[in-house]
A and B are shown apart, each in its own frame.
Chain A
Amino acid sequence: MLRASCKVFTRRQSTSLLPQFKIKDLEFLRDKGITGLYSSKGLNNVWYDKADYCRENLNQLLQQSVNKNALLSCFLNKSLDKGSIHLSDTSDSIDRLNQLISTAAQSCEGSESFTVDHEIYNLSTQLYNHHFAMSSLNSGGNESNRVYKPDASELLKTHPNTDVSISLSHDAQLLKQIKSSFGSLEQLKTLLINSSLAIKGNGFTWLIALFSKSDSKLFLDDLYVVNSYNNGTPSDRLKNGQLDDFRAFIKEGNSNSEFVKDYHQNDSFDFVPLLAINASPYAYLSDYGVFGKRVYLENVWNCINWPTVASRWPKEA
């Protein structure tokens, strides 16, 4: 029972190894919520309480991990004095979380503190996913949205999907690419909402761009909508080939103790996530009720911060 022996402690720690995970635009909304999307309670459920919980547990577990130094180095700012931590900018903290995920994934294999590192991986992907989804939203919300709890009759309703527009200029690269990948904005919206509705447990729906790489330049393959479940990440790079490697390892009779495969090193392509939508029940239950997922997703669509989404397009492309 390896799994049962790894307990997550929720006790508060006086010294903290990790920086606060703050999203600048959302910091002042704790008591207010986001107009047309979340009440204060709803926003606390989906972001503040969740992020605090992940951070506190991560702190505890980082202390216990034998790979503590490697993991913590993801948060040290090399350009500043050694030891100082800088995490105010959104894209910066997302990059650092991404780095933490890769480091945790690598230290998961064959580590003495396997269960600890595994839990670190889980918590850091949760933080990454939540951070990404929350920072994709417009903190000003949308005045014309209505936040309410529909009743069972909602299940029989259809939502007309016409006249969809987003706050990007007509010649924006992203908008052009959306039209060529999905046909139209309406089709992207339909695909995003239907993918989110298909997630029953915890999960996120992502808009990602797939690039192929050559000579440190990126060439766009296409845009995709993908779902991630529980502690999954939008890109499967960290897990690519894992199953086969483990099977080979088992077949060889566990004799090869130097079992570390470089399946993370496939550099011929690059997944770039642009947008994430939280499709988990706790993301809508307190404001929209059991029947309100569809209403919630319509409201999310109207609150997406498209300039931020567009700014995630890689510069090398």
Chain B
Amino acid sequence: MFLKSVQRSTRGIHTVPKLANQDAWLKNGIKGLYSAQGFKESWVDYQQYLVDNLTMRTVGTLNETRTPFEIIKATYKNASDTTTFHYASQCFNNHLFFEQVADSGASDSAPSPNLEYIINKSFGSLEDLKADFEAELTTLNGQGWVFLVENNQKELEIVSCINEGTPYFHSRNQNLDLSSQITIDDVTQLDILSQFVKNGNREPFNNVPLICFNSWHYAYLHDYGVNGKVEFLQKFWDCLNWNVINQRLFNQASL
């Protein structure tokens, strides 16, 4: 009996991770990206909202002791787990977003030669990547995320996810918006996807996210207004900490 209660006391309550510069950012905001209040709303408050909801959704279930990423893996396939998946995926994506930003001009970081090479190979240049990224963001309907990912062919591509979509699994990218008028292209993609899911294959990780852009109003409404997502993206490029992005690229040499 005693043992059991000890086990219980170790259950996972999800908490907001502390960012390296959090205290300074709460005071001054992120230079070039956020006011102090804007930062508080999009990270401290929103992340608190997400982890509290995630804790409430998972307590007493198999997901109780799992990390948000493990919860994503455990729930992405089941329609009945949609709400839990929402909070887990949002937790994960929002953390991914805030991990990679820095005060503008604070770090003179740049893409590593390895990353630069692969960006040039896939897009032509960094500027081309930025232009494609912006086009993808402009056509994204409603709330969501835009990712630069490395796919399983070791190529870079841009993936946009509507609402809480995750970049890791094709079947949960959520980049088809069937609530609007649909196109033949959409139907083709949908059928490929449903065939894949029907076959019951264990889906491998298709993509590893390198750059994560938050296009939810939680992230930019306070400082950029309701139509401000493109302006937010343009500021975002100057506040990107490339040292973090370089680390995210799979590096064979480090094996």
Q: Provide the residues of chain B in CB contact with A301, threshold 8 Å.
A: none
Q: Is the CB of B49 within 8 A of A246?
A: no
In B31-81, the 8 Å CB interface with A consists of: 41, 45-46, 48-49, 52-53, 56
User: What is the minimal beta-carbon distance from B241 to any residue of chain A, in angstroms?
Assistant: 25
Residues of A within 8 A of B (CB): 2-8, 10, 44-46, 49-50, 53, 104-105, 108, 114, 118, 121-122, 125, 152, 155, 200-202, 228-232, 238-239, 242-243, 246-247, 249-250, 280-282, 285-286, 289-291
Determine whether the beta carbon of A45 is less than 8 Å from that of B180: no
Task: List chain B residues, Cβ under 8 A from A281.
Answer: 143, 216-218, 221
**A290 close to B181 (CB less than 8 A):** no
Q: Which A residues are in CB contact (< 8 Å) with B139?
A: 3-4, 6-8
* A284 CB to nearest chain B CB (Å): 10
Query: Chain B's nearest CB lies how many Å from the CB of A116?
Result: 12
Interface string of B180-195 (1 = CB under 8 A from A): 1111110110110000
A121, B141: Cα distance in complex, Å: 12
User: C-beta contact mask, B216-231 vs A, less than 8 Å → 1, else 0?
Assistant: 1110011001110010
A201 CA to B135 CA in the complex, in Å?
Answer: 21
Which residue on A lies nearest to B137, using beta carbons? Answer: A4
B182 near A246 (CB under 8 angstroms)?
A: yes
A242 close to B179 (CB less than 8 A): no
Give the residue name and chain of the B residue nearest to A285 (CB).
B221
- Complex Cα spacing A163 to B33, Å: 46
Residues from 163 to 205 in B contacting A, C-beta threshold 8 Å: 163-164, 177, 179-185, 187-188, 190-191
Distance between Cα atoms of A281 and B42 in the complex (Å): 12
CB neighbours (8 Å) of A229 from chain B are: 142, 179
Contact A155-B52, Cβ < 8 Å, known A200-B164, A282-B221: yes
B155 located at the interface, meaning its Cβ lies under 8 Å from any Cβ of chain A in the complex: no
Return the contact of A200 from the options B52, B141, B163, B183 (Cβ within 8 A).
Answer: B163
> In the assembled complex, which residues on chain A have CB atoms less than 8 Å from the CB atom of B183?
2, 108, 114, 118
**Across the interface, which residues of B come within 8 angstroms of A46, CB to CB?**
226
Chain B residues proximal to chain A, CB less than 8 Å: 41, 45-46, 48-49, 52-53, 56, 86, 132, 135-136, 138-139, 141-144, 162-164, 177, 179-185, 187-188, 190-191, 216-218, 221-222, 225-227, 230
Given A238-B181, A290-B46, A290-B49: A230 and B225 within 8 A (CB)? no
Are B45 and A289 neighbours in the complex by a CB distance under 8 Å?
Answer: yes
Q: Please name the residue on chain B nearest to A155 by beta carbon.
A: B52
In the complex, A280→B217 CA distance in Å? Answer: 9
- Can you spell out 21 A-B residue pairs with CB atoms less than 8 angstroms apart? A7-B135, A7-B138, A8-B138, A8-B139, A10-B227, A105-B181, A122-B180, A155-B49, A155-B53, A201-B143, A201-B216, A202-B142, A230-B141, A232-B180, A246-B182, A280-B217, A282-B226, A285-B41, A285-B222, A289-B45, A290-B218
Chain B CB count within 10 A is highest, among A6, A202, A291, for A202
Chain B residues with CB under 8 A of A232: 179-180
A230-B142, A290-B41 as given contacts; A243 in contact with B187, CB under 8 Å: yes
B177 lies within 8 A of A231 (CB): yes
- Interface-centre pick from B132, B144, B184 (highest chain A CB count, 10 A): B184
A231 to B182, CA, bound (A): 11
Contact A247 B142 (CB under 8 A): no
- Tell me which of A50, A280, A291 contacts B49 (CB under 8 A): A291
Q: Is A230 a contact of B218 with CB atoms below 8 Å?
A: no
**B residues less than 8 Å from A114 (CB atoms):** 183
Instruction: Tell me the smallest distance from the CB of A106 to a CB of chain B, in Å.
Output: 10
**CB of A184 to closest CB in B, whole Å:** 27
6 additional contacts (CB under 8 A) given A2-B185, A200-B164, A250-B184: A8-B138, A44-B226, A104-B181, A201-B144, A228-B179, A243-B187
